[in-house]
């Protein structure tokens, strides 16, 4: 049986992706322990589904296609190293000032569970962030070497079902379903 590595995420607008990719490149230039994430790969993960049977994809497409189209405004909330005690990724934390992101996350969880037998949504609260760099295996990052992240405020343009294909050069993402969201008025 064939499988696919899947997750549901928010797309970022082009300007936000460019600013975050630039910050990631600056961080990597200042700290050789870091390896940047490509601009095209930047996103906000809502639910990681992991390796799923390919037969689940149509039902998951339906969940994403049926997602509410409510606008999701986000703002930067500063640098966030994950995991804090032994960092392995550099991220920009995001604030959800209207609660729209949290509402979407809570609504998608049960629908995704129904579409993916044997999968359960995370019980931990959503910690919205965008990963811009990963710590190289065996290396220790130097957080003090970082420049400040860009000040951002944007609306996510879409929620997407993404397939991740891992390779030595990094993950390559393919959108299998895309649901456009309203823009913030």
The proportion of the chain whose per-residue pLDDT surpasses 70, expressed as a percent, equals 98
Domain limits for position 74: 3-180
Helix or strand run (H / E) with residue 16: helix 14-30
Q: Is residue 27 part of a domain?
A: yes
pLDDT value at residue 184:
66
Q: How far apart are CA 101 and CA 5, in angstroms?
A: 23
Q: Is the pLDDT of residue 3 over 90?
A: yes
Q: Is the pLDDT of residue 7 over 80?
A: yes
Q: Is residue 48 part of a domain?
A: yes
Q: From start to end of the chain, where are the E strands?
A: 3-10, 34-36, 44-53, 73-82, 89-95, 129-135, 153-155, 158-165, 172-180
Q: Is residue 185 part of a domain?
A: no
CATH code at position 59: 3.90.1140.10
Residues sharing a CB contact under 8 Å with residue 168, sequence separation 6 or more, in sequence order: none
Tally the residues of the chain.
Answer: 185
Place of tokens 């409510």: 70
Query: What's the gap between Cα 14 and its chain centre?
Result: 15
Place of tokens 């604030």: 95
Place of tokens 């200042």: 30
| Number of domains within the chain | 1
pLDDT digits (tens, 9 = 90+) for 141-178: 988 888 899 999 999 999 999 999 987 777 889 999 99
Q: Is residue 150 part of a domain?
A: yes
Which tokens go with 39? 């601009």
Q: Is residue 52 part of a domain?
A: yes
Q: Is residue 68 part of a domain?
A: yes
pLDDT digits (tens, 9 = 90+) for 104-135: 999 999 999 999 999 999 988 999 999 999 99
């Amino acid at each position: 049986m064939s499988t696919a590595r899947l997750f549901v995420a928010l797309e970022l607008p082009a300007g936000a992706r460019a600013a975050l990719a630039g910050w990631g490149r600056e961080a990597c230039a200042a700290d050789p322990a870091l390896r940047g994430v490509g601009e095209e790969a930047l996103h906000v993960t809502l639910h990681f589904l992991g390796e799923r049977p390919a037969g689940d994809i149509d039902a998951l497409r339906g969940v994403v296609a049926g997602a509410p189209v409510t606008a999701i405004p986000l703002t930067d909330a500063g640098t966030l190293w994950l995991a804090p005690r032994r960092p392995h990724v550099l991220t920009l934390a995001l604030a959800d000032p209207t609660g729209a992101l949290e509402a979407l996350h809570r609504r998608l969880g049960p629908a995704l569970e129904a579409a993916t037998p044997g999968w359960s949504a995370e019980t931990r609260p959503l910690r919205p962030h965008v990963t811009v760099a990963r710590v190289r295996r065996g290396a220790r990052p130097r957080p003090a070497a970082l420049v400040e992240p860009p000040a951002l405020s944007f609306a996510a343009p879409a929620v997407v079902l993404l397939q991740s294909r891992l390779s030595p050069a990094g993950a390559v993402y393919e959108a299998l379903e895309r649901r456009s969201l309203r823009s913030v008025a």
